[in-house]
Amino acid sequence: MSPDTKKTFQLDGKEIPFREGQTVFDAAMAAGVYIPHLCHNPDFEPHSSCRLCTVIVNGRPFASCTQPAVAGQDVRSDTPELNEMRRALTDMLLVEGNHYCPACEKSGNCRLQATAYALGLQDSHFPQFFPRRDVDASHPDIILDRDRCILCGLCLRISRSVDKKSVFAMTGRGITTTIVVDSPSGLLADSKVSREDEAVRHCPVGALMMKGEAYMVPIGQRRYDVSPISEDSVREFHAREEAHNG
């Protein structure tokens, strides 16, 4: 065992081991402790835009997906105040878009829906905004449904850093913020995006979807139908840790 594996910090009273360079989030998940999150994908660089993974480190709030793990630090995550904040943020994302979960093809595979269930959010405490948002179905293989977009920025980051295309960007402020496409017409059909792009494959909600693949997995048998997101995410991280450690 290397010296790095012996380093630990306290998370809600539990001792969490970590490797040098790990974040609080990654160490917690690898140790089997779920921290709610939306914008983070362990395969890509963290961005801390959704703030759902906020924890209290030595009395101060930090996004756990970008906060380095430090030996001896005291971290709080599962507190009434933080969970209430997470519920409010998730609720706001739901009412600021047009999310019709029972009729959505992404139901059962949607991180927003699964996270809302994990946080015990059964109904909305805010009035619905019902914004007018465009749907771009111009591409032969891909549909961009802005009604379902939660502005996590994952597609922007992956398209830029992994696909090397920079197809997507954001424009506007507040409720008018929206995803735009880099093409002469502003449409997906005239952009460089393709069905092989990682940016399309990793959308956590139903904003970017492949045409011709709807309901290939029946509702009731989908990722978060089979197990709640808290168990699924921890299992995913365990698999990555095993692969990392050989």
The tens digit of pLDDT for each residue in 78-116 reads 999 999 999 999 999 999 999 999 889 999 999 999 999
Rounded mean pLDDT, 41-60: 93
What pLDDT does residue 30 have? 92
Can you give the pLDDT at residue 122? 85
* Average pLDDT for 119-135: 91
| Calpha distance 174→33 (Å, rounded) | 33
Instruction: Determine how many CB atoms are found less than 10 A away from the CB of residue 80.
Output: 7
d(CA 154, CA 184): 23
Flag whether pLDDT at 4 surpasses 60. no
Q: What structural domains and CATH numbers belong to the chain? A: 1-128+220-246 (3.10.20.740), 131-214 (3.30.70.20)
Cα distances from 186 to residues 84, 149, 210, in angstroms, run 39, 17, 19
Q: What is the chain's mean pLDDT, rounded?
A: 93
Question: Quick one: average pLDDT of 49-55?
Answer: 96
With a threshold of 0.85, does the pTM exceed it? yes
**What pLDDT does residue 3 have?**
47
Residues 6 or more apart whose CB falls under 8 angstroms from that of 92 comprise: 126
CA distance 112 to 151: 12
Q: Hunting for tokens 């449409």 — which residue is that?
A: 187
Share of the chain above pLDDT 90, in %: 81
pLDDT above 70 coverage of the chain, percent: 97
Tell me the C-alpha distance between 30 and 22, whole Å.
10
Q: Check whether 23 has a pLDDT greater than 90.
A: yes
Position 70 confidence tier, pLDDT thresholds 50, 70, 90: very high
Taking Cα atoms as reference points, which of 134, 136, 133 lies closest to residue 187? 136
Dig out the tokens for 134 from the structure: 């465009």
Alpha carbon distance 139, 150 (integer Å):
21
When pLDDT is averaged across residues 206-235 and rounded to a whole number, the result is 94
| Lowest-confidence segment of 2-6, 17-21, 51-55, 132-136 by average pLDDT | 2-6
What per-residue confidence (pLDDT) applies to 246? 64
Distance CA 175, CA 154 (A): 19
User: For residues 158 and 44, is the Cβ–Cβ distance under 8 A?
Assistant: yes
The pair of three-digit structure tokens given for residue 216, joined into one six-digit string: 């290939």
Cβ atoms of residues 225 and 157 within 8 Å: no
Check whether 240 has a pLDDT greater than 90.
Answer: no
Reported as a pLDDT band with limits 50, 70 and 90, residue 1 is very low
b/e map of 177-214 (b: 16 or more CB within 10 Å)?
A: eebebeeeeeebeebebeeebbbbebbbbbbbbeeeee
Pairing assessment for the beta strands 142-145 and 168-171 based on DSSP bridges: unpaired
d(CA 93, CA 30): 27
Which is higher by pLDDT, 35 or 6?
Answer: 35
Instruction: Please give the pLDDT value at position 175.
Output: 85
Span 181-188, mean pLDDT? 98
DSSP string, 121-163: --S-SS--------EE--SSSEEEEGGG-----HHHHHHHHTS
